Amino acid sequence: MKNKSIGISYILIFFFIGSVSQVYSQTKVIRANAVKSNDYGVQYFLPKTILEIDIEYTETKQKAGPYARYAARYLGVNDSEVVTDDKTVYSFNKISVSEIGIPNKHQSYLVAFKSKTTAPFVYLTEEGVICSINAEYTPENNPKQTVNVHHSNTASGVSSINPQSLYTEEYLHAGSISKMAEVAAKNIYRIRESRQDILTGETDNVPKDGEAIKLILDKLDAQEKSWTGLFLGTKEVTVKNKRFTLEPDDEIEKEILFRFSKYLGIVVADDLSGSPFYLNLKNLHTVEIPTDDPKAKKKEAESIVYNVPGKAQLEIFTDKKKVYSETINITQFGITRILETAVFEDKKAPVKILFYPHLGAIRQIIQ
Protein backbone atom coordinates (compact mmCIF):
# COMPACT_ATOMS: atom_id res chain seq x y z
CA MET A 1 0.00 0.00 0.00
CA LYS A 2 1.06 3.56 -0.71
CA ASN A 3 0.68 6.63 1.48
CA LYS A 4 -0.69 10.07 0.90
CA SER A 5 -0.69 12.94 3.40
CA ILE A 6 -4.01 14.46 4.41
CA GLY A 7 -4.01 18.09 5.50
CA ILE A 8 -5.80 19.67 8.47
CA SER A 9 -8.43 21.08 6.09
CA TYR A 10 -10.15 17.68 6.16
CA ILE A 11 -11.29 18.19 9.77
CA LEU A 12 -15.07 17.89 10.24
CA ILE A 13 -15.46 15.80 7.09
CA PHE A 14 -17.41 12.53 7.49
CA PHE A 15 -15.97 9.43 5.84
CA PHE A 16 -18.62 6.82 5.08
CA ILE A 17 -17.77 3.43 3.62
CA GLY A 18 -20.76 1.72 2.00
CA SER A 19 -21.09 -2.00 2.52
CA VAL A 20 -23.69 -4.56 1.65
CA SER A 21 -23.01 -6.83 4.59
CA GLN A 22 -20.96 -5.07 7.24
CA VAL A 23 -20.88 -7.20 10.35
CA TYR A 24 -19.78 -6.06 13.76
CA SER A 25 -19.16 -8.87 16.20
CA GLN A 26 -19.64 -8.49 19.93
CA THR A 27 -16.26 -6.76 20.13
CA LYS A 28 -14.64 -6.07 23.47
CA VAL A 29 -12.69 -2.84 23.54
CA ILE A 30 -9.83 -1.56 25.65
CA ARG A 31 -9.06 2.05 26.48
CA ALA A 32 -5.38 2.97 26.25
CA ASN A 33 -4.21 6.32 27.56
CA ALA A 34 -1.26 8.15 26.01
CA VAL A 35 0.75 9.18 29.07
CA LYS A 36 4.31 9.88 30.03
CA SER A 37 5.01 6.25 30.98
CA ASN A 38 4.43 5.11 27.38
CA ASP A 39 6.02 8.20 25.80
CA TYR A 40 2.55 9.48 24.85
CA GLY A 41 2.17 6.74 22.25
CA VAL A 42 -0.35 3.91 21.68
CA GLN A 43 0.38 1.04 19.31
CA TYR A 44 -2.42 -0.28 17.10
CA PHE A 45 -3.11 -2.53 14.12
CA LEU A 46 -5.07 -1.88 10.98
CA PRO A 47 -7.28 -4.76 9.85
CA LYS A 48 -7.32 -6.80 6.68
CA THR A 49 -10.50 -8.23 5.22
CA ILE A 50 -11.60 -11.83 5.33
CA LEU A 51 -14.90 -13.00 3.90
CA GLU A 52 -17.14 -15.37 5.81
CA ILE A 53 -19.35 -17.17 3.31
CA ASP A 54 -22.35 -18.94 4.87
CA ILE A 55 -24.22 -21.56 2.87
CA GLU A 56 -27.70 -22.49 4.06
CA TYR A 57 -29.09 -25.81 2.87
CA THR A 58 -31.79 -28.27 3.87
CA GLU A 59 -31.41 -31.93 4.83
CA THR A 60 -34.55 -34.05 4.47
CA LYS A 61 -34.53 -37.51 5.98
CA GLN A 62 -37.51 -39.60 4.96
CA LYS A 63 -38.51 -43.05 6.14
CA ALA A 64 -41.25 -45.23 4.70
CA GLY A 65 -44.02 -46.43 7.01
CA PRO A 66 -44.69 -50.19 7.40
CA TYR A 67 -48.19 -49.76 5.92
CA ALA A 68 -47.26 -47.57 2.96
CA ARG A 69 -48.92 -49.88 0.45
CA TYR A 70 -52.23 -49.68 2.35
CA ALA A 71 -52.32 -45.88 2.55
CA ALA A 72 -54.61 -45.42 -0.46
CA ARG A 73 -56.96 -48.24 0.61
CA TYR A 74 -57.50 -47.22 4.23
CA LEU A 75 -56.77 -43.47 4.26
CA GLY A 76 -57.66 -42.52 0.70
CA VAL A 77 -54.47 -40.59 0.09
CA ASN A 78 -52.62 -40.14 -3.19
CA ASP A 79 -49.37 -41.99 -3.85
CA SER A 80 -47.55 -38.63 -4.01
CA GLU A 81 -48.29 -38.11 -0.30
CA VAL A 82 -46.70 -41.41 0.71
CA VAL A 83 -43.00 -41.96 1.46
CA THR A 84 -42.19 -45.23 -0.28
CA ASP A 85 -38.47 -45.63 0.45
CA ASP A 86 -35.87 -44.60 3.03
CA LYS A 87 -33.46 -41.90 1.86
CA THR A 88 -31.80 -38.59 2.71
CA VAL A 89 -31.75 -35.73 0.22
CA TYR A 90 -30.29 -32.22 0.32
CA SER A 91 -31.33 -28.95 -1.28
CA PHE A 92 -29.48 -25.65 -1.55
CA ASN A 93 -31.20 -22.62 -0.02
CA LYS A 94 -29.08 -19.46 -0.10
CA ILE A 95 -25.69 -17.82 0.45
CA SER A 96 -24.81 -14.83 2.63
CA VAL A 97 -21.43 -13.10 2.88
CA SER A 98 -19.99 -11.02 5.73
CA GLU A 99 -16.95 -8.74 5.69
CA ILE A 100 -14.80 -9.39 8.75
CA GLY A 101 -11.72 -7.46 9.84
CA ILE A 102 -8.81 -9.25 11.49
CA PRO A 103 -5.54 -7.63 12.62
CA ASN A 104 -3.01 -7.26 9.85
CA LYS A 105 0.27 -8.12 11.59
CA HIS A 106 2.13 -6.29 8.82
CA GLN A 107 0.30 -3.03 9.56
CA SER A 108 1.31 -2.09 13.08
CA TYR A 109 1.51 1.63 13.84
CA LEU A 110 1.91 4.04 16.74
CA VAL A 111 -0.37 6.95 17.60
CA ALA A 112 2.27 9.34 18.91
CA PHE A 113 0.99 12.43 20.73
CA LYS A 114 2.98 15.37 22.02
CA SER A 115 3.05 15.92 25.77
CA LYS A 116 0.99 19.10 25.52
CA THR A 117 -1.94 17.26 23.88
CA THR A 118 -5.09 17.35 26.04
CA ALA A 119 -5.65 13.95 27.79
CA PRO A 120 -5.24 11.78 24.67
CA PHE A 121 -6.61 8.23 24.66
CA VAL A 122 -7.35 5.48 22.14
CA TYR A 123 -9.90 2.67 22.08
CA LEU A 124 -8.68 -0.65 20.68
CA THR A 125 -10.25 -4.06 20.20
CA GLU A 126 -8.80 -6.89 22.27
CA GLU A 127 -6.74 -7.80 19.20
CA GLY A 128 -5.34 -4.24 19.03
CA VAL A 129 -7.33 -2.89 16.06
CA ILE A 130 -8.05 0.82 16.32
CA CYS A 131 -11.64 1.91 17.12
CA SER A 132 -11.42 5.57 18.12
CA ILE A 133 -9.12 8.38 19.20
CA ASN A 134 -10.19 10.79 21.95
CA ALA A 135 -13.76 9.47 21.61
CA GLU A 136 -15.74 6.98 23.66
CA TYR A 137 -16.45 3.84 21.63
CA THR A 138 -19.39 1.47 22.12
CA PRO A 139 -19.15 -1.81 20.21
CA GLU A 140 -22.06 -2.73 17.99
CA ASN A 141 -23.71 -6.11 18.25
CA ASN A 142 -23.53 -8.59 15.40
CA PRO A 143 -27.11 -9.29 14.22
CA LYS A 144 -26.07 -12.28 12.13
CA GLN A 145 -24.58 -14.92 14.40
CA THR A 146 -25.06 -17.93 12.12
CA VAL A 147 -22.00 -20.07 12.65
CA ASN A 148 -22.98 -23.75 12.83
CA VAL A 149 -26.60 -22.89 13.55
CA HIS A 150 -28.88 -25.89 13.05
CA HIS A 151 -32.62 -25.64 13.51
CA SER A 152 -34.96 -28.53 12.85
CA ASN A 153 -38.60 -28.76 12.09
CA THR A 154 -40.70 -31.78 11.28
CA ALA A 155 -43.40 -32.68 8.83
CA SER A 156 -45.58 -35.55 7.69
CA GLY A 157 -46.05 -37.79 10.67
CA VAL A 158 -43.05 -36.92 12.84
CA SER A 159 -44.05 -36.91 16.51
CA SER A 160 -42.49 -37.22 19.92
CA ILE A 161 -45.03 -39.92 20.83
CA ASN A 162 -43.95 -43.54 20.45
CA PRO A 163 -46.70 -45.31 18.44
CA GLN A 164 -46.17 -48.46 20.51
CA SER A 165 -47.54 -46.63 23.55
CA LEU A 166 -50.85 -46.28 21.69
CA TYR A 167 -51.18 -49.91 20.54
CA THR A 168 -54.50 -51.46 21.53
CA GLU A 169 -55.19 -55.11 22.28
CA GLU A 170 -57.04 -55.43 18.97
CA TYR A 171 -54.03 -54.09 17.13
CA LEU A 172 -51.55 -56.35 18.89
CA HIS A 173 -53.65 -59.43 18.07
CA ALA A 174 -54.36 -58.49 14.47
CA GLY A 175 -52.34 -61.44 13.13
CA SER A 176 -51.37 -60.01 9.72
CA ILE A 177 -49.89 -56.85 8.24
CA SER A 178 -53.13 -56.15 6.37
CA LYS A 179 -55.23 -56.54 9.52
CA MET A 180 -52.80 -54.37 11.55
CA ALA A 181 -53.07 -51.65 8.91
CA GLU A 182 -56.87 -51.86 9.07
CA VAL A 183 -56.89 -51.52 12.88
CA ALA A 184 -54.39 -48.62 12.71
CA ALA A 185 -56.68 -46.84 10.25
CA LYS A 186 -59.66 -47.34 12.59
CA ASN A 187 -57.67 -45.74 15.40
CA ILE A 188 -56.96 -42.72 13.18
CA TYR A 189 -60.65 -42.28 12.43
CA ARG A 190 -61.56 -42.65 16.12
CA ILE A 191 -59.10 -39.88 16.99
CA ARG A 192 -60.58 -37.65 14.30
CA GLU A 193 -64.10 -38.30 15.56
CA SER A 194 -63.03 -37.47 19.14
CA ARG A 195 -61.50 -34.20 17.97
CA GLN A 196 -64.63 -33.31 16.01
CA ASP A 197 -66.87 -34.07 19.01
CA ILE A 198 -64.80 -31.78 21.23
CA LEU A 199 -64.87 -28.96 18.70
CA THR A 200 -68.65 -29.24 18.20
CA GLY A 201 -69.44 -29.75 21.90
CA GLU A 202 -71.05 -33.14 21.33
CA THR A 203 -69.10 -34.94 24.05
CA ASP A 204 -69.46 -34.90 27.82
CA ASN A 205 -66.82 -34.21 30.45
CA VAL A 206 -64.94 -31.68 28.31
CA PRO A 207 -63.08 -29.07 30.40
CA LYS A 208 -64.43 -25.57 30.13
CA ASP A 209 -60.98 -24.06 30.39
CA GLY A 210 -59.72 -23.10 26.96
CA GLU A 211 -56.10 -23.96 27.72
CA ALA A 212 -57.10 -27.43 28.94
CA ILE A 213 -59.09 -28.04 25.76
CA LYS A 214 -56.08 -26.97 23.70
CA LEU A 215 -53.87 -29.47 25.53
CA ILE A 216 -56.33 -32.26 24.78
CA LEU A 217 -56.52 -31.31 21.10
CA ASP A 218 -52.73 -31.10 20.85
CA LYS A 219 -52.45 -34.60 22.32
CA LEU A 220 -54.99 -35.94 19.85
CA ASP A 221 -53.07 -34.31 16.99
CA ALA A 222 -49.83 -35.94 18.16
CA GLN A 223 -51.54 -39.34 18.41
CA GLU A 224 -52.97 -39.00 14.92
CA LYS A 225 -49.55 -38.07 13.50
CA SER A 226 -48.00 -41.12 15.13
CA TRP A 227 -50.57 -43.46 13.63
CA THR A 228 -50.61 -41.68 10.27
CA GLY A 229 -46.82 -41.98 10.08
CA LEU A 230 -47.24 -45.76 9.87
CA PHE A 231 -48.93 -45.18 6.50
CA LEU A 232 -47.49 -41.96 5.10
CA GLY A 233 -43.99 -42.41 6.49
CA THR A 234 -42.00 -39.65 8.15
CA LYS A 235 -39.93 -36.71 7.00
CA GLU A 236 -37.47 -34.90 9.22
CA VAL A 237 -36.36 -31.56 7.82
CA THR A 238 -33.25 -29.83 9.16
CA VAL A 239 -31.92 -26.46 8.00
CA LYS A 240 -28.11 -26.41 8.21
CA ASN A 241 -25.32 -23.89 7.71
CA LYS A 242 -21.79 -24.38 6.46
CA ARG A 243 -19.21 -21.58 6.64
CA PHE A 244 -16.21 -21.00 4.39
CA THR A 245 -13.59 -18.35 5.20
CA LEU A 246 -11.76 -16.60 2.38
CA GLU A 247 -8.79 -14.25 2.78
CA PRO A 248 -8.37 -12.59 -0.63
CA ASP A 249 -4.98 -11.20 -1.63
CA ASP A 250 -5.80 -10.78 -5.30
CA GLU A 251 -8.60 -11.15 -7.80
CA ILE A 252 -10.22 -14.58 -8.20
CA GLU A 253 -11.73 -15.93 -11.39
CA LYS A 254 -14.03 -18.98 -11.49
CA GLU A 255 -12.51 -20.77 -8.53
CA ILE A 256 -14.54 -23.69 -7.17
CA LEU A 257 -15.67 -22.74 -3.67
CA PHE A 258 -17.45 -26.04 -2.95
CA ARG A 259 -19.59 -28.67 -4.61
CA PHE A 260 -23.16 -29.62 -3.77
CA SER A 261 -24.69 -33.07 -4.06
CA LYS A 262 -28.39 -33.92 -3.82
CA TYR A 263 -27.50 -37.05 -1.87
CA LEU A 264 -24.45 -35.90 0.14
CA GLY A 265 -24.98 -32.18 0.68
CA ILE A 266 -21.90 -29.91 0.65
CA VAL A 267 -18.74 -31.71 -0.47
CA VAL A 268 -15.18 -30.48 -1.05
CA ALA A 269 -14.13 -28.83 -4.29
CA ASP A 270 -12.41 -31.92 -5.74
CA ASP A 271 -15.30 -34.32 -5.00
CA LEU A 272 -16.90 -34.86 -8.40
CA SER A 273 -20.07 -36.31 -6.86
CA GLY A 274 -21.34 -32.74 -6.46
CA SER A 275 -22.04 -29.86 -8.84
CA PRO A 276 -19.57 -26.95 -8.56
CA PHE A 277 -20.30 -23.54 -7.06
CA TYR A 278 -17.80 -21.04 -8.49
CA LEU A 279 -16.50 -17.75 -7.09
CA ASN A 280 -15.40 -14.59 -8.86
CA LEU A 281 -13.81 -11.63 -7.05
CA LYS A 282 -13.06 -8.64 -9.25
CA ASN A 283 -11.12 -5.60 -8.06
CA LEU A 284 -13.13 -2.54 -9.16
CA HIS A 285 -10.08 -0.25 -8.74
CA THR A 286 -12.10 2.39 -6.94
CA VAL A 287 -9.03 3.73 -5.10
CA GLU A 288 -6.37 5.68 -6.96
CA ILE A 289 -2.88 4.45 -6.15
CA PRO A 290 -0.66 7.48 -5.38
CA THR A 291 2.88 7.85 -6.65
CA ASP A 292 5.76 6.69 -4.47
CA ASP A 293 6.75 9.12 -1.76
CA PRO A 294 10.31 8.58 -0.45
CA LYS A 295 9.36 10.38 2.77
CA ALA A 296 6.29 8.20 3.37
CA LYS A 297 7.79 6.09 6.17
CA LYS A 298 8.92 9.15 8.08
CA LYS A 299 5.48 10.73 7.70
CA GLU A 300 3.85 7.52 8.97
CA ALA A 301 5.90 7.69 12.14
CA GLU A 302 4.54 11.17 12.83
CA SER A 303 0.94 10.60 11.75
CA ILE A 304 -2.15 8.45 12.16
CA VAL A 305 -2.30 5.79 9.47
CA TYR A 306 -5.71 4.53 8.35
CA ASN A 307 -7.17 2.41 5.56
CA VAL A 308 -9.08 3.50 2.50
CA PRO A 309 -10.59 0.18 1.38
CA GLY A 310 -11.09 -0.70 -2.23
CA LYS A 311 -14.28 -2.17 -3.60
CA ALA A 312 -14.73 -5.50 -5.32
CA GLN A 313 -17.51 -7.33 -7.12
CA LEU A 314 -18.17 -10.72 -5.54
CA GLU A 315 -20.12 -13.32 -7.50
CA ILE A 316 -20.96 -16.93 -6.64
CA PHE A 317 -22.58 -19.01 -9.35
CA THR A 318 -23.23 -22.48 -10.75
CA ASP A 319 -23.18 -23.68 -14.33
CA LYS A 320 -26.86 -22.76 -14.54
CA LYS A 321 -27.39 -19.57 -12.53
CA LYS A 322 -25.92 -16.80 -10.37
CA VAL A 323 -26.72 -17.29 -6.67
CA TYR A 324 -24.93 -14.27 -5.15
CA SER A 325 -23.71 -10.92 -6.46
CA GLU A 326 -22.72 -7.90 -4.36
CA THR A 327 -20.21 -5.05 -4.23
CA ILE A 328 -18.09 -5.37 -1.08
CA ASN A 329 -15.19 -3.63 0.68
CA ILE A 330 -11.75 -5.24 0.61
CA THR A 331 -8.97 -3.45 2.51
CA GLN A 332 -6.34 -5.39 0.55
CA PHE A 333 -7.58 -3.70 -2.63
CA GLY A 334 -7.20 -0.22 -1.12
CA ILE A 335 -4.44 1.99 0.24
CA THR A 336 -3.35 3.59 3.50
CA ARG A 337 -3.40 7.33 4.11
CA ILE A 338 -2.17 9.47 6.97
CA LEU A 339 -3.63 12.17 9.17
CA GLU A 340 -1.11 14.38 10.94
CA THR A 341 -1.25 14.27 14.75
CA ALA A 342 -0.93 18.05 14.82
CA VAL A 343 -4.72 18.15 14.64
CA PHE A 344 -4.85 17.02 18.29
CA GLU A 345 -2.80 19.94 19.61
CA ASP A 346 -5.59 22.52 19.62
CA LYS A 347 -6.70 22.52 23.28
CA LYS A 348 -9.66 24.81 22.55
CA ALA A 349 -11.15 22.45 19.95
CA PRO A 350 -10.02 18.86 20.70
CA VAL A 351 -10.47 16.49 17.79
CA LYS A 352 -12.21 13.11 18.06
CA ILE A 353 -11.96 10.34 15.47
CA LEU A 354 -14.17 7.28 15.09
CA PHE A 355 -13.13 4.33 12.91
CA TYR A 356 -14.81 1.33 11.32
CA PRO A 357 -12.86 -1.35 13.24
CA HIS A 358 -13.51 -4.05 10.64
CA LEU A 359 -12.10 -1.80 7.90
CA GLY A 360 -9.61 0.50 9.62
CA ALA A 361 -11.26 3.38 7.76
CA ILE A 362 -12.26 6.71 9.27
CA ARG A 363 -15.96 6.83 10.05
CA GLN A 364 -16.21 10.33 11.49
CA ILE A 365 -13.99 13.22 12.53
CA ILE A 366 -15.48 15.55 15.13
CA GLN A 367 -14.10 18.88 16.30
CA distance 202 to 272: 62
Rounded CA-CA distance 256/275 in Å is 10
State the average pLDDT over residues 333-348.
Answer: 81
49 Cβ partners below 8 Å, 6+ apart?
Answer: 99, 100, 101, 247, 248, 309, 329, 330, 331, 332, 358, 359
Segment 198-215 shows an average pLDDT of 82
The answer to whether 103 touches 266, Cβ cutoff 8 Å, is no
**Contact assessment for residue 224 and residue 192, using Cβ atoms and an 8 Å cutoff:** yes
Closest CA to 136 of 117, 120, 123, 119: 123
| Lowest-confidence segment of 76-80, 175-179, 190-194, 276-280 by average pLDDT | 175-179
d(CA 97, CA 312): 13
State residue 12's pLDDT score.
33
**Tens digits of residue pLDDT in 92-126:** 999 999 999 999 999 998 877 666 555 578 899 99
Which strand (E) or helix (H) includes residue 71? helix 71-75
User: Which of 165 and 145 is assigned the larger pLDDT?
Assistant: 165
Question: Which of 91, 88, 62 has its CA nearest to residue 232?
Answer: 62
Tell me the angle at which helices 177-200 and 210-232 cross, rounded to the nearest 10 degrees: 160
Pairwise CA distance, residues 361 & 367, whole Å: 18
With CA atoms as reference, report the closest residue to 340 among 367, 304, 307.
Answer: 304
Q: What is the pLDDT of residues 323-338, one digit of tens each?
A: 999 999 999 999 999 8
What distance in Å separates the CA atoms of residue 348 and residue 341, rounded to the nearest whole number?
16
**For residue 133, is pLDDT > 80?**
yes
Q: Is 248 in a helix, a strand, or coil?
A: coil
Contact partners, residue 284, CB within 8 Å, separation at least 6: 310, 311, 312, 313, 327, 333
Return the pLDDT at 6: 36
Mean pLDDT, all residues of the chain = 81
Looking at residue 164, its pLDDT comes to: 59
Q: Does 15 score more than 80 pLDDT?
A: no
pLDDT at 127 over 60: yes
3-state DSSP of 263-313: CCEEECCCCCCCEEEEEEEEECCCCCCCCCCCCHHHHHHCEEEEEEEEEEE
Rounded to an integer, the average pLDDT of 150-161 is 43
Rounded to a whole number of angstroms, the CA Rg of the chain reads 32
- pTM to 2 decimal places: 0.74
- Which tens digits make up the pLDDT trace of 288-303? 887 766 666 667 667 8
Average pLDDT on 249-278 reads 96
